[in-house]
Copies of this chain bind each other. A is one copy, B any other.
Amino acid sequence: MKNKYVVISNELVKNIQQGAFSAGDTLPSEHELCAQFETSRETIRKALNLLAQNGYIQKVRGKGSVVLERNKFKFPVSGLTSFKELADQMGQEVKTRVHELAIVKQAAHVRRQLGCPEDAKLWKLIRSREIDGERIILDKDYIREDLIPDITKETAEQSLYYYIEEELGLEISFAKKEIVVEDVTDEDRELLDLKGHQQVVVIRSYVYLADTTAFQFTESRHRPDKFQFVDFARRTKA
């Protein structure tokens, strides 16, 4: 919370969420915000860019920063979010069950994709997620053991990301994700309540640390009727 522009951004988000501005209003001009927060214009602009990236405002040249209506969708999850963060947000009854937690030496394919040494050990972690009494999601993780040495059943049941970021002090930076639909496997049938569904939505992601090393490959398999993905996309310049 020390970066000035992050502080200003958070302050403005709070104001918007508390209803100080409603959809269609314009925020105070950049010039006014400079005076209000006693800072330079470029710093205000960084703060406003954060707001724009997160879908709170849209800047219009000559007019101002227009506040957008949010809540058109249930939860705005574009970006990287851990399962625990999501579950907390939704406020639903959630239970995680660990089915497998072991170090494997095979999985050459994953090892190559992560770009780690040939002899590196990998954690293999299989968890199911039960929401409101139904096992709906199957998460299969492969994690570099040389970077994340100690994973216990307990951390796997709680929040892996919390452990990695807060306890190990590693910074998770970005992920490449792919979403496809696939036929169910025997494993899906065994570990999920499929209710007759013959296909699952599969999200494959490679997760990278701030130093650009990939440390995790995750395959998250969702029962299709309970899957939802929300995206906020800006058109990029040519």
Among the stretches A92-100, A122-130, A132-140, A176-184, the one at the interface with B is A176-184
Closest to A200 in B: B181
Q: Which residues of B contact A198 (CB under 8 A)?
A: 198
Closest to A42 in B: B42
Number of interface residues of A (CB under 8 A): 50
- Segment 154-205 of A: residues with Cβ below 8 Å from B: 172-181, 198-199, 201
The answer to whether A21 has its CB under 8 Å from any CB of chain B is no
Closest to A61 in B: B210
The answer to whether A225 has its CB under 8 Å from any CB of chain B is yes
Q: Which residues of B contact A53 (CB under 8 A)?
A: 236
The answer to whether A6 has its CB under 8 Å from any CB of chain B is yes
Query: A-side interface residues toward B, CB under 8 Å?
Result: 6, 24, 42, 53-55, 58, 60, 63, 66, 68-69, 72-73, 78-80, 113, 115, 172-181, 198-199, 201, 206, 208, 210-212, 224-225, 227-237
The answer, among B24, B55, B58, B179, for a CB contact under 8 Å with A179, is B179
Q: How many copies does the complex hold?
A: 2
Verify A227–B181 contact, CB threshold 8 A: yes
With known contacts A58-B173, A208-B58, A78–B233 Cβ distance under 8 A? yes
Nearest-neighbour CB distance to chain B for A113, whole angstroms, equals 7
CA A172 to CA B54, docked complex, whole Å? 17
Q: List 7 A-B contacts (CB under 8 A).
A: A60-B210, A175-B231, A177-B232, A177-B233, A179-B231, A181-B199, A181-B225
With known contacts A181-B225, A181-B227, A73–B235 Cβ distance under 8 A? no
Verify B55–A176 contact, CB threshold 8 A: yes
Verify A224–B181 contact, CB threshold 8 A: yes
CA A178 to CA B199, docked complex, whole Å? 19
